[in-house]
Chain A
């Protein structure tokens, strides 16, 4: 076993390669549908199948999606895009090569900002983002001697987001991935579903002694199907490498596969039988030129990004970092909240409502904010009701809000009135109530007057009870004090 002491001598170095399947309607180089879940081999034209005489054609939407991701990550956008062929044989690769980008990826550099659980903020540097096509799926069916291939996925557009070896803990990797997922979903370019494979991640992991200048030999780990498994695989790989180094063995640059059941990694192939992909410029595609106009039209259509909204929520709305983090976690929640904040100035109350009752309602019913029955306008009216002192926060959330969920058409004020929940802040009507409470508790009043000030709460409770909860606590307290202290 690896002792904490030994482990602490080593620094973990991680680079991630994230493949995101783009949400275009058609494939990267053909007009075949990208729809998921259809019968095998139903979205396969002669182009997808690589029939002789066919030629690819670039899907401009996919290029736009890649550019959007680049803009979101502050990458430099390559203006003259040349595609490249990556040559290898595999039954699910119809042409015997994948059309990808090699020397000039569409996005160069850039970064993804992350915030760790201890509040540390940093930016993870990106190497590149490039466009490519997915392969088909080999299927080993029970009872079948032959391996079957489904080419529906072949040619589906992907972007590959490659980070620098810039992460130092599995938590950083986890948060980086979460941020990437958040970004692609904000941009609406990928559904970010790692379990279904629309987001895939390979990790390059190495270990070195603290202070060492050279990186250790890196090992590529594949086949993690969740963020948690990426973190587990990295942790395991780090420890495996340290144990090897400590026992004087050499780390082999290799590809290893992660087994979620055991939490271990196992060797897939070593560098000796590494493929020589023989990249060269794709002669069947003319270069895709990103003009100034095209780029600015994409720039103009960029949605608000999590980091921008987070900044706005903290600096403009004065919300705590924590609130801003929760509210920007999902694009739709953030946009709902942003709209809500154009209708009320009580941002903290708005945030509390969103993070409390709204989120718990959605979570309980596993609903999406788009299915939320109450629009921002009504929710703003509810806040107004609290601000006006007509109901207090707990009455608002526990009595009015549940009714609003059922009767979305009614205003919160109408609901509060119907349920007789409007607070009474009229001294004229409250004085008789307070007087009668005091009259019914002569003994307690005497005790209060002799110094038992704690009885105030009891009197208050009685007042609330008598007023059926509608007494404005502030006004009632004031009257009580006046009458008792006389």
Chain B
């Protein structure tokens, strides 16, 4: 069996009648089985994927196939898919089956993508290592003693290890970009509101986005252009038209690029990552692009701002998991109050509980203004400064992460060290602008390094084109 890397290869094989959808699904099912120990998949929809493949074979034969016919996707365990379980990797949603399909997933299915299963992640998207999951940890295929990053660790590894063509993850503060960097693949966090959140189990509503993991920029662009756009189920989804990103990948202009001094000179930055990032900047300069170092003194406030606001929203978003209506309910309760307390104490993991408590604290009457109100103001400042920068420059380039994939348990006793993993990814999340991570070589242990490209809101087309250009000359 041939090895499929990109959707282009799959399409070519389908066109040449070298393969059909059933064979493609079987190829991935085989890989999933072989790589089961990576623990990327929580559940594999073997029968329905094979049945769907048959249907799409028919459609291809009759010339009625959608644009994603032949694409096999995995979805993060926080995305709703009708009549399938969705647990958000939490005990509290044990046995919970969604009664509808989220917009992003539905749009891909409508174009004949085949959903092969749901993917492991950190509980409710909270984590940077995929160690906080009721389904267990996910192994990084590049080094199985190391984390794949998080929270969308399963989604990253599924693409990294060829368990599906592309996968969907969600990115609230870096949960697509950081694992993409750790696993050496492409991952995007679109502009906030670009993709409908209907069917995304919320962590922090004003930050949550649905992103895509892929091997190539082009596959990523294609999936994004299909998922994105206005949706009647999400009043916060943007009404701006969606360009055909995958057809706008040609790039031949000279552009203005900024890199933020505070990122490249961060003491937390691993030397090889710094070197590889600077090397890209140097190459860009040599190609005739304008590359400038800029100051972004607000960088140090991005993490605190992010953690105050996301935990505040999370503390409220997760209130619905109370044992009353669905999901886990403690068997040990003796009255209503103990039902609430025990259900939530037993149902949520440690990190989730930590964030609920943090969020409850920052919203409490006595601390509201000192934390929540202030963080909202700082968020606005960070957003405005980032947008100002992106009005002067076409792109900001920075490392995706301060370090490459770390060992299991390395940060387990130090939540703040874990939070620092998001140091470079939260700026785009706090600002709502799109950001994408592409592979940028490896460190001395052979672990993948990610390069992050940020641009202004709704400029995904420009982001993909530039990423495609960079990927090409990076591999030269």
Contact = CB atoms under 8 A, between A and B. Distances in A.
Contacts of A284: 197, 202, 205, 235-236
Interface string B311-352: 011011011111011100000000010001000000000000
A89 B316 CA distance: 10
B121 interface: no
Contact of A96 (B100, B201, B322): B322
Interface stretch (A44-52, A320-328, A373-381, A444-452): A44-52
A337 to B, nearest CB: 44
A335 interface: no
Contacts, number: 99
Nearest to B327: A52
A278 B326 contact: no
Contacts of B326: 49, 51
B93 interface: yes
A211 B183 CA distance: 75
Question: Which among A55, A85, A87 has the greatest number of chain B C-beta atoms within 10 A?
Answer: A55
Nearest to A149: B324
A94 B326 CA distance: 10
A136 to B, nearest CB: 10
A70 to B, nearest CB: 22
A51 B198 contact: no
A58 B326 CA distance: 25
Contacts of B424: none
Contacts of A95: 319-320
B102 interface: yes
- A interface, how many residues as a size bin? 20 to 34
B316 A96 contact: yes
Given A46-B100, A149-B324, A280-B363, A55 B235 contact: yes
B198 A97 contact: no
A283 interface: yes
Interface string A142-184: 0000010100000000000000000000000000000000000
A53 B201 contact: yes
B88 A52 contact: yes
Interface string B346-371: 00000000000000100111001000
A103 to B, nearest CB: 11
A52 B320 contact: yes
A89 B233 CA distance: 26
Interface string B230-261: 00111110000000000000000000000000
Interface string A177-214: 00000000000000000000000000000000000000
Contact of A278 (B100, B318, B363): B363
Contacts of B360: 278
Contacts of A276: 364-365
B86 A53 contact: yes
B320 A53 contact: no
B327 to A, nearest CB: 8
B96 interface: yes
B200 A53 contact: yes
A89 B340 contact: yes
A147 B102 CA distance: 32
A49 B313 CA distance: 19
B80 A89 contact: no
B197 A55 contact: yes
B372 interface: yes
B13 interface: no
A286 interface: yes
Interface in A266-294: 276, 278, 280, 283-286
Contacts of B336: 91, 147
A52 B93 contact: yes
A95 B313 CA distance: 13
B209 to A, nearest CB: 13
A49 B102 contact: no
Nearest to A91: B324
B206 interface: yes
Given A51-B98, A280-B372, A94 B325 contact: yes
Interface of B: 78-80, 86, 88, 93, 96, 98-100, 102, 197-202, 204-206, 232-236, 312-313, 315-316, 318-322, 324-326, 336, 340, 360, 363-365, 368, 372
Q: Which 7 A-B pairs have the closest CB atoms?
A: A96-B319, A283-B205, A283-B206, A278-B363, A53-B80, A52-B201, A50-B320
19 contacts: A46-B99, A46-B100, A51-B100, A52-B98, A52-B321, A53-B79, A54-B100, A58-B235, A87-B315, A89-B340, A91-B322, A94-B320, A96-B321, A97-B319, A149-B324, A276-B365, A278-B363, A278-B368, A284-B205
Given A55-B234, A56-B235, 17 more contacts: A49-B325, A49-B326, A50-B320, A52-B201, A53-B86, A53-B100, A54-B198, A57-B235, A85-B316, A87-B319, A87-B363, A97-B319, A280-B316, A280-B372, A283-B204, A284-B236, A286-B236
